[in-house]
Amino acid sequence: MAGSKKIKKQDLARLLSQWSQEFSLFVPSRTSGPAEMTEYDGQDTSFLGWYRNTIIPPKASFLPHMEEMFSFHRNKQGHQLELPPSDEQKRLIFAIRPCDARALTILDNVFEDAYQDPYYRGRRRRAILVGLGCTNPYDSCFCTSVGGGPSETTGVDIMLTDIGDELVARGITKAGEELIARSNLARATKADQKRAEQSQEAARQKVTRKVDTRDMASRLQAVFDDRDYWQQLAAKCLSCGICTLLCPTCYCFDINDEGSPEKGTRCRSLDSCAFPDYTKMPMENPRDEKWRRVRNRLCHKYEFYPMLFDTIACTGCGRCIRLCPVNWDIAQILEGVPELSQAEGPK
């Protein structure tokens, strides 16, 4: 942790106010009901006392539930298109958890590399992520089983570690180091850094839920055509979509035109593979049966996405476990996927 700085928690409001002069600053909040990242009000840092993670993931700052792509109107020359005002604001997402920062790198593969989406890409390129390592993970968290951890630095520009009355800050990227350098923070001592390392190790030990993800893609492929297996797994699913709409890595969306043929807007909104009409075409629905939709969700994260990008599209944040109304537990489901030697042939 060479070059680390620190700040007293009692001085955090001052630092955030300073940063809010340069960025649109987002912090954990539950003023609107569910915990989410909202714009800093200039004084409230009480989230340090209750914050474990948000319900609505920080991806909402980059991939909103609904957004206008363009407006259109028809005149004598035909249909004319008008793009919405360019979103030029510089964002700083403060206290993002490592699992959610890592989730954004998973989305980057789709919206920046596979296809350069101008809406998502513009927001991401003007953003700074200040991570806050977990000290009290939920018992539903399993980040260490999918390549992450409560203090992982993937995707963040600055990583903060809670050591009691202070936060130790370490610059991860050049942008993060530059922000720390101009923020007039005290230098962390060797004792501070030692406490930070101990805090990080203690947090890692608290992630007790483990899932064996080795060969998971092959294991899922082996049971892919086992209809009885998937029907059993899908039996209690309500197809409510909570697991996907609150997932930090799910990115499926629908596009609709609102208005009339003469004048309107084209909007993009998040969609869910759990919904019965997901991907419904004019003449058919390719996943009309619930078990097929449940299979698609699980296989996308642990088989299809890894085939494309060589990484699991799940960060083990546990939201889908904590928030499912019927306690459909993805970690237990994964643990129950037969080993390759036990998998039966197609039925």
Q: Which of the listed residues 160, 183, 206 is the one where a domain comes to its end?
A: 206
36 CA to centre of own chain: 12
**Are 126 and 101 found together in one domain?**
yes
Environment class of 30 (CB within 10 Å of its CB; exposed 0-12, middle 13-18, buried 19+): middle
| pTM score, whole prediction | 0.92
Q: Is residue 62 one of the residues assigned to a domain?
A: yes
Q: Which of the listed residues 153, 175, 206 is the one where a domain comes to its end?
A: 206
Q: Which of the listed residues 176, 206, 236 is the one where a domain comes to its end?
A: 206
Q: Is residue 344 one of the residues assigned to a domain?
A: no
Query: DSSP strand E in 56-175: where?
Result: 66-75, 78-82, 91-96, 127-132, 158-162, 166-171
- Neighbouring C-beta atoms of residue 71, cutoff 10 Å: 17
Q: Is residue 77 one of the residues assigned to a domain?
A: no
**Are 174 and 267 found together in one domain?**
no
Beta-bridge mates of residue 72? 81, 264
Q: Residue 322, CB half-sphere, CA atoms under 13 Å: how many?
A: 17
Q: How far is the CA of 224 from the CAs of 304, 310, 313, in angstroms?
A: 12, 20, 18
Tally of domains within the chain? 2
* pLDDT tens for each residue of 57-103: 999 999 999 999 999 998 988 889 998 887 778 999 999 999 999 99
* pLDDT tens for each residue of 300-343: 999 999 999 999 999 999 999 999 999 999 999 999 999 987 65
**Are 227 and 298 found together in one domain?**
yes
**Are 35 and 146 found together in one domain?**
yes
The residue to which tokens 């403060």 are assigned? 94
Angle CA 52–15–162, to nearest 5: 35
Pair of tokens at residue 25: 């600053």
Q: Is residue 346 one of the residues assigned to a domain?
A: no
Domain around 174: 5-68+84-206
**Are 88 and 234 found together in one domain?**
no
